[in-house]
Structure 1
Amino acid sequence: MTSQYNERFRRFANRMERGIMIGIVVCAVMLTIGEMLIQYVPARALLIETERLEGVSRLP
C-alpha cells in the first residue's frame, strides 16, 4: 500500500512540477513580448493609457 501511494504521489508531483515550469516559461515569454511591444510607438499608445493622459509630447 505504501509503495502504491509513493508511486502515485511521485507521478502527481512530476505533473505539477512540469505544469509549474511551463507556467514560468509562458510568463517569461509574455513579459518579453510585452516589453518589445512597449518599444513600438503605435502599440505603446494603444497599451499605455498614461501616454495619452499626460499631455507631454514624446517628440522634443
Structure 2
Amino acid sequence: MISGFCKESLFDEVLTMLSMMEDFGSDVVTNEIIIYALFKENENHMAEKLLRIVIARGLL
C-alpha cells in the first residue's frame, strides 16, 4: 500500500500510514521505499528528515 502511494506521489498518505505503523515498527525496506520515492520527486527536505529519523532509531 505504501509503495502504491509513493508511486502516485501521495506522500501525506504515506506519512499518515507510517505514523500509524509506529506502534508496530517499520522495517528497513518500507523506509527505503519511502525515502527513495521522496528523493525521486524532489521532496529532499522530507526525505532527509525521514532519513534522520530512521538513523536515530537504528533502522539504517
Structure 1 length as normaliser, TM-score?
A: 0.29
Query: Looking at CA atoms only, which structure, 1 or 2, has the larger radius of gyration?
Result: 1
Structure 2 length as normaliser, TM-score?
A: 0.29
Whose helix proportion is higher, 1 or 2? 1
Which one has more relative contact order, counting CA pairs under 8 Å at least 6 apart?
2
